[in-house]
Amino acid sequence: MNIRQAAAAARALGQTGLFRPVRPLEYLRMAQLTLRWGPTLAAASAIAVLRAPHGTAVADEIGLLSWHDVDSAANAVADALARQGVGPETTVGLMCRNSRYFVVATLAVSKLGANLVLLNTDFGPHQLGEVLKREGIGAAVFDEDFGPTFRTAEFEGVSVDGTQIREAATTGDGACPEPPKRPGRIVIMTSGTTGLPKGAQRATLTPPVDMVVSAFSQLPLRAREPVVVAPPLFHLLGFGFMGFALGLQGTLVVQSRFDPEAVLAAIADHRATTLVAVPVMLRRILGLPEPTRRRYDTSSLRVIVCSGSSLSAELAAWVMDTFGDILYNFYGSTETGWATVAGPSDLRTAPGTVGRPPTGTRVAILDDQGRPVTTGQSGRIFVGSAMAFEGYTGGGGKQVVAGLMCTGDTGHFDEAGRLFVEGRDDEMIVSGGENVFPGEVEELLRGHEAVHDAAVVGIDDEELGQRLAAFVVSEPGSSLSTEEVKEYVRSRLARFKIPRYVEFVDEIPRNLMGKVLRRSLLDRSAFGSKE
C-alpha cells in the first residue's frame, strides 16, 4: 500500500467514524495485530476486542454476545478443533444457520489458518456427500439438527456439532492459537439453480484498498451501528456484510430463518441503521399487512442493501416509497465479486438499472467474438476486479477476455454509463427465432395489481423451438384468468413474448437467495409432459 492509497483508506474509514481518538499505544497495538494476523477475519475480531471488548458483536435469537465473548468462544472452538488434529492443511466445512455459532466457528477456523468451505444449509445427504468429497473436507462444524444429514452422507472426518460448539463457547476455555504462517483459503458455493453448486475459491475475501474506499464512499455505513443481515451468511452477500460488520465493529443482527415480520422487529428493537436483503425478502416484507408493518419503528434505517437476484423497477420504487430513498442495489456474482452499484438517484432516474462500476472495477459489454459493443447494444457482461475468484475447486472457471471475466449475464449500458442486466445466457428462450429473456416478462407480470409473483420458462415446441409458459401466483381474492394474463402481456410487449401457456400456482419455488428454481417449477407442473 503506497502513501496515496493509505491516505485514501484513512479518509474513507474516517467517514465511517471508525477512528475515534485513542492513545498512541493503542494505535501501535492495532498495527501489531494487523501484522500478526494479516488480512483476515481473525485480525478484525482481535482489533474489535481491543477497541470495544464489551460492545455487542452479535444479536440473534439467543440474545446478545460481546466482542470479548465472541473472541473467547472462537478461541475455545479453535482449541477443540486443534486437539482433533485440525490445522492449516485441513479443509473445514461449515454448515450453520445464521447465528452466533456461524460467526464463532468462522473465526475459529480463521485463527487456525485452516481452509473454510461454506456449505448450503439446504443441502440434502446426496448433495452434501458429493460436495464433501469434491472439496476434500476433513472436518465439519454444523448445527446439531444437520447431524443426520452428515451421517447419511457417510462423513468420516472430524465432526463438531452444535452441542459441542455451545459447550466450548460457554466455557470460553481456550488460549488464542499462534497466528498461522498464511491465511486459510475460503470457498463459497455458487447460488445456481441447477446441478451441483460449484465451489468458488479465494485466497482471501478482503478487498483491495481502492475497492474498500469506493464501497465506503458510496454506502453511508457507519462504525459501531447495528446491521440486520437477512440472507444466509454462507452466501457471498451475507458473508461479505458479516465482514463489514466485523471491520466496522458494528452489531451483526441475524435470525436462523427468514421471517419478514421478525426482520422488522429486529430493526426496531436494535435501532438498526442497515438492512441487507435479497429482492424476494423485500417483497415479502412489503407484502405484510400495512397495520403489521406500522407496528414497528424502522425510522433508524439509513441504508437498505439489495443483491443476489434481479431487482425489478416496480419493487425498487415500492421499497423507496415505503422506507425512503435509502436503497442501494448491488450487481455481481460469487465468481466476480461486486461489479456495479445503483444508488437511490439511479434507481429513481433509470428504473431497472444496476448502476455503475465502483472504483477499482471494470465492466464491459462484449459480443460473441469478444469485441466491445456500442452504447445501448446488448452483449455479454464481463467484469474485471481484484475480487475475481481463482477458479472452481472442481476445476475450470469462467471465460476471461483481456483480463475481464464473464458473468454469464447479458446486458447493455445507457448513455449515462449505467448498466442494465437483461438476463442469463443459459435462461434465454428462443421462440420462432426471437430471443426472450424470462426476466422481462416476469417483471411485467409482477407489476399487475392482481399478481403476487410470477415466473416464466421455455417449453420445447416442434414448430417454434420453444414457447413461453408463465406460472402466476395471484393476489388473495383475485379472479385473474389465463386470458387476462395473456392480454396484459399482449398490450405491453411484442407478440412473441406472450406466454402460450399459463398456470396458476400457490408459490414460486426459489432458493435461499431468491432465485427461481425453474427446473423444479417445470417438473411439478402440467407442462413437464410437453417437453
81 beta partners: none
List phi, psi (to 5°) of 291.
Answer: -60, -35
Q: What gap in Å lies between CA 482 and CA 451, rounded to an integer?
A: 12
Cα four-point dihedral sign 286, 288, 289, 291 = negative
SS3 for 478-528, per residue?
CCCCHHHHHHHHHCCCCHHHCCCEEEECCCCCECCCCCECHHHHHHCCCCH
The interaxial angle of helices 162-171 and 100-112, nearest 10 deg, is: 80
What pLDDT shows up at residue 339?
Answer: 92
What pLDDT shows up at residue 531?
Answer: 45
With 0-12 / 13-18 / 19 or more C-beta atoms within 10 angstroms meaning exposed / middle / buried, residue 207 is: buried
| pLDDT per residue as tens, the chain (531 positions) | 455 555 555 666 666 766 666 666 776 777 788 778 877 888 888 888 888 899 999 999 999 999 999 999 999 999 999 999 999 989 999 999 999 999 999 999 999 999 999 999 989 899 899 999 999 999 999 999 999 999 999 999 999 888 888 888 777 667 888 998 888 899 998 865 556 788 888 766 565 556 666 677 778 888 889 999 999 999 989 998 998 898 889 999 999 999 999 999 999 999 999 999 999 899 999 999 999 999 999 999 999 999 988 888 989 999 999 999 999 999 998 888 889 999 999 999 999 999 999 888 899 999 989 999 999 999 999 999 888 888 888 788 888 999 999 998 999 999 999 999 988 877 888 887 787 888 889 989 998 999 999 999 988 887 778 889 999 999 998 999 999 999 999 999 988 899 999 999 999 998 888 888 888 888 877 665 444
Q: How far is CA 89 from CA 38, 85, 138, 139, in A?
A: 18, 10, 10, 11
In the block, cell 424502522 appears at: 298
* pTM of the predicted protein model: 0.86
What pLDDT shows up at residue 529?
Answer: 46
DSSP letters spanning 249-274: T-EEE--SS--HHHHHHHHHHHT-SE
What pLDDT shows up at residue 324?
Answer: 97
Q: 477 in helix, strand or coil?
A: coil
What pLDDT shows up at residue 209?
Answer: 58
8 A C-beta contact, residue 279 and residue 306: yes
Q: What gap in Å lies between CA 210 and CA 118, rounded to an integer?
A: 27
Cα four-point dihedral sign 472, 433, 409, 363 = negative
131's CB contacts (< 8 A; 6+ apart) are 93, 117, 119, 123, 137, 189, 196, 197, 199
DSSP letters spanning 97-153: -SSHHHHHHHHHHHHHT-EEEEPPTT--HHHHHHHHHHHT--EEEE-GGGHHHHHHT
The interaxial angle of helices 260-270 and 279-286, nearest 10 deg, is: 90
Cα-trace Rg, the chain: 24
DSSP letters spanning 425-451: GGG-EEETTEEE-HHHHHHHHHTSTTE
CA distance between the termini of the chain: 57
Q: What gap in Å lies between CA 302 and CA 250, rounded to an integer?
A: 15
Cell (9 digits) for 126: 446426496
183's CB contacts (< 8 A; 6+ apart) are 38, 39, 40, 110, 113, 203, 204
Cell (9 digits) for 71: 473472541
- What value, to the nearest 5°, has the Cα angle with vertex 331 and ends 236 and 8? 80
Residues written for the chain: 531
Give the amino acid at 218.
Answer: Q
Question: What residue ranges define each of the domains in the chain, with the CATH number in brackets?
Answer: 428-530 (3.30.300.30)
Among 446, 494, 492, CA closest to 468: 494
In the block, cell 424476494 appears at: 280
What pLDDT shows up at residue 147?
Answer: 94
Structure letter (DSSP) for residue 37: H
> Between the CA atoms of 269, 275, 281 and 285, what dihedral angle is there, to the nearest 10 degrees?
50
8 A C-beta contact, residue 275 and residue 250: no
In the block, cell 452422507 appears at: 153
What pLDDT shows up at residue 121?
Answer: 93
Q: How far is CA 419 from CA 32, 195, 378, in A?
A: 42, 29, 11
For residue 177, how far is the Cα from the chain centroid? 30
472 beta partners: 454, 504
